[in-house]
Amino acid sequence: MKDFITIALPKGRMSEESLSHFYQCGITKIKEFNHDRKLIFDDIEKKIKFLLVRSKDVGTYIEQGAADIGVIGFDLLKEHEFNVYISTKLPFGKCRLSVAWPQNHDEPNKRHIKVATKYPRITSKYFYEQGINIELINLYGSIEIAPLTGISHAIVDLVSTGETLKANNLIEKNRILNSEARLIFFMPLMFSKGSKLQIF
Ligand code: AMP
């Protein structure tokens, strides 16, 4: 039987917030990850192994059973639909996924609206439900500059304080979903006789 619990955390701000939360709850004795390119940290006393991975990879590590517990934004859980057990809301990582347009934008041709995002699944579903056809422009970061460079009419991206939208002359028009950090768990499933689902 393995005696360490493995926890996958998203690298960056959310790993610090997660660690600080776990520390305050008495789950770990580690106060901070020192940034010397190490991606695995052991808490020998509490028998926890922390893996620092790309945020959307947290779901894959849990799904594959390489980690037992993970912290991930609800936005990514909605976009990627990992096969994991989704648990408690955590008190950080609060933001919203919204549609934003340039200030004073011209009304685009309704049949050809280009929307830049790194959330293609949520974005397609949202506009489909609004009865609006869009062309998706898939980007991986700095989504806010897409309308400024003319590659899209609008964007769908995370908004926290709204400062980034403001700095790039964009206006938040519609909120698609609210998000926050969530705890997720590995879900080893077994269908026993009679197809009874068991979680062990
Ligand atoms: P803000 O200027 O505070 O509204 O933050 C917006 C920028 O931060 C955008 O580029 C977002 O992609 C990013 N962002 C905001 N909240 C989060 C979050 N909870 N997780 C990851 N990225 C975020």
Q: What angle is formed at CA 92 by the lines to CA 10 and CA 78, rounded to 5 degrees? A: 65
Q: How far is the CA of 161 from the centre of ligand 1 (A)?
A: 8
Token digits for 89? Answer: 């809301």
> Looking at ligand 1, which residue's alpha carbon is closest to its atom 6?
159
Q: How far is the CA of 180 from the centre of ligand 1 (A)?
A: 11
What are phi and psi for residue 163, nearest 5 degrees? -65, -40
Same fold, 5-93+180-190 and 95-179: yes
Residue list, ligand 1 pocket, CB within 6 Å: 73, 93, 95, 157-164
pTM score over 0.85: yes
The pLDDT tens digits of the residues spanning 167-179 come to: 999 999 999 999 9
> Looking at ligand 1, which residue's alpha carbon is closest to its atom 16?
160
Query: Which amino acid type is present at position 40?
Result: I
pLDDT-derived band at 155 (thresholds 50, 70, 90) equals: very high
What are phi and psi for residue 183, nearest 5 degrees? -85, 135
User: At residue 195, does pLDDT exceed 50?
Assistant: no
The pLDDT tens digits of the residues spanning 62-83 come to: 999 999 999 999 999 999 999 9
> Of 105, 84, 88, 112, which is closest to residue 185 (Cα–Cα)?
84
> Looking at ligand 1, which residue's alpha carbon is closest to its atom 20?
93
Q: How far is the CA of 192 from the centre of ligand 1 (A)?
A: 44
The pLDDT tens digits of the residues spanning 50-65 come to: 999 999 999 999 999 9
Ligand 1 atom with least separation from CA of 157:
12
pLDDT-derived band at 108 (thresholds 50, 70, 90) equals: low
| Domain 5-93+180-190, architecture per CATH | 3-Layer(aba) Sandwich (3.40)
Q: How far is the CA of 164 from the centre of ligand 1 (A)?
A: 8
Q: How far is the CA of 22 from the centre of ligand 1 (A)?
A: 22
The best mutation among 13, 164, 169, 172 to test binding of ligand 1, ranked by most ligand atoms within 8 Å of the C-beta, falls on 164
| Domain 95-179, architecture per CATH | 3-Layer(aba) Sandwich (3.40)
Could you tell me which residue, 183 or 193, shows the higher pLDDT? 183
In Å, what is the CA distance from 29 to each residue of 43, 44, 59, 115, 200? 7, 9, 25, 45, 27
The pLDDT tens digits of the residues spanning 3-60 come to: 899 999 999 999 999 999 999 999 999 999 987 789 999 999 999 999 999 999 999 9
Domain boundaries, the chain: 5-93+180-190, 95-179
Q: For residues 115 and 100, what is the distance between their CA atoms, to the nearest angstrom?
A: 9
pLDDT-derived band at 100 (thresholds 50, 70, 90) equals: very high
Average pLDDT over residues 121-140: 96
Distance between start and end Cα atoms, the chain: 14
